[in-house]
Amino acid sequence: MQILKMNFLKFIKHIFFFFLTFLLGAQTTCAKTKLVLPQNVISFSTDNYRNEQNQNFNNLKKEVQPNIGFLFRKFSEEKSKFEVSEGVSFHNQHKFSESLCWNLVNAGSRWLDDLESLLGPGSKTKIQGWLNEGLDAGKVKLSFANTSNKTNLFNKLDNAKSIQHQRVLTNDLDNIPGVNSGQYISNSVDNVTQNITKTANNKQFILKPYQAETFQKNASLINRADIEIIEDLNNGIQLVKVKPGTKLYRVYDGYQQGVNTLPKGNYWTFEKPSSISEVIGGSAVQPEWNSMIKYIEIEVPSQGIYVWRGKAAKQPLSNNENITNYFLQGGTEQLIFDINQNAISIPSITNSITKTPW
């Protein structure tokens, strides 16, 4: 009985050490992946632990107890070395990243310093202001790098109508609202080679060839209750009388009350545009023509207004820059309203002048 009891205890002892050794072996088996650190940084592997555990397993039959304390001491030493190395590596990486960022910041602004040495004092501040307003720094930098006349480019940017015009000058075309990519193919009225003169209400109304070209050829025009057709030219253009009380709109650079002429151009629309994309794209207004910062609303007086009506034709993105792969689609109804031919004072029929919402 005593012998049986001793054999049972001996069996339990075997089971205990077998289970403990199995746990240690499983831990190292799951940690097969070696940590590989940069050169001159301490690295270690847990493969040696598995070898020791395998040896312990083989010696289990001989009832030799594995040196578990040594294993834990060894593991703790190696872990401490790794943590120290990892800390040094992180510190060095942080110092490198901080230095790299500082160098990039300096390099990023150095081109402005170089430009100022060529363009003169104050040019850097002015360019930085444009960048703060939304110009793409990379496009601006590249444009100055590619031009042989940096002073001319700077002056163009300084005198540009708006940021959209500046984007044309710096070839940042994809960021201009309402612009289409692709080859410009004209769809303009092309059969007006001399002035067309029509008489209505004892007045003469003249359409010039360059004005006719801004209309889409053979455009289909909808019926409107607020107009009376005086004559259809059968090419997409009509002379119409706009009835009293109708509201018309124009987006442009600005307007000063008391002056009875508008600054540049006589183009109006029936609808008030809600976005700059509608003006540039729908009405085909080149950014170099107009700053588009305000719109004016007028109300047609009792005698009516006589205008040339049609749809805006496609336009190239710029008449002054060599841009061939972008254009303005057009398609919005437009009116050519000559205040002199109508003998109307704009201030007398102005309802409001408002800053555009974009």
**What's the domain range around 286?**
196-355
The order of strands in the sheet holding 350-355 is 247-252, 294-299, 350-355
The answer to whether position 130 is within a domain reads yes
N-term to C-term CA, the chain: 100
The answer to whether position 174 is within a domain reads yes
The answer to whether position 347 is within a domain reads yes
Same domain flag for 169 and 240: no
The answer to whether position 75 is within a domain reads no
**37 secondary structure, DSSP code:** P
Determine phi and psi for 237, rounding to 5 degrees: -120, 135
Same domain flag for 7 and 128: no
Same domain flag for 21 and 153: no
Same domain flag for 258 and 337: yes
CA angle (19, 21, 3) in 5-degree steps:
55
pLDDT value at residue 21: 55
The answer to whether position 82 is within a domain reads no
Same domain flag for 249 and 169: no
Angle, helices 150-158 vs 123-133, to 10°: value is: 50
pLDDT value at residue 308: 98
The answer to whether position 29 is within a domain reads yes
List own/partner pairs for 196-201 with CB under 8 A and 24 or more apart: 196/233, 198/230, 198/231, 198/239, 200/230, 200/239, 200/241, 200/306, 201/241, 201/303, 201/304, 201/306
Same domain flag for 135 and 239: no
| pLDDT per residue as tens digits for the range 141-176 | 999 999 999 999 999 999 999 999 999 999 999 999
Number of domains in the chain: 3
pLDDT value at residue 196: 98
Give the residues across from 296 on adjacent strands: 250, 353
Instruction: Quickly count: other Cβ atoms within 10 Å of residue 351's Cβ.
Output: 12
DSSP helix/strand/coil, 86: helix
Same domain flag for 298 and 336: yes
Give the residues across from 335 on adjacent strands: 268, 309
The answer to whether position 247 is within a domain reads yes
pTM for this one? 0.69
Same domain flag for 300 and 158: no
The answer to whether position 148 is within a domain reads yes
Same domain flag for 238 and 128: no
Same domain flag for 131 and 60: no
Tokens standing for residue 105: 């910041």
* pLDDT tens for each residue of the chain, 358 residues long: 555 445 555 666 556 655 555 555 544 444 444 444 444 433 334 445 445 544 544 554 444 344 444 444 544 555 555 454 455 454 555 444 554 444 444 456 799 999 999 999 999 999 999 999 999 999 999 999 999 999 999 999 999 999 999 999 999 999 999 999 999 999 999 999 999 999 999 999 999 999 999 999 999 999 999 999 999 999 999 999 999 999 999 998 875 544 434 545 689 999 999 999 999 999 999 999 989 998 899 999 999 999 999 999 999 999 999 999 999 999 999 999 999 999 998 889 999 988 899 9
**How far is CA 298 from each of CA 52, 241, 302, rounded to the nearest angstrom?**
94, 15, 13
Cα–Cα distance, 138 to 200 (Å, whole number):
55
Within the chain, residue ranges assigned H as helices are 2-30, 47-59, 68-119, 123-133, 137-146, 150-158, 163-169, 209-212, 276-277, 339-342, 346-349
In whole angstroms, how large is the CA radius of gyration of the chain? Answer: 40
Same domain flag for 210 and 129: no
Same domain flag for 171 and 226: no
Count the alpha carbons within 13 Å of 238 in the hemisphere toward its beta carbon.
20
pLDDT value at residue 40: 43
Q: Which of 181, 206, 231 is where one domain is finished?
A: 181
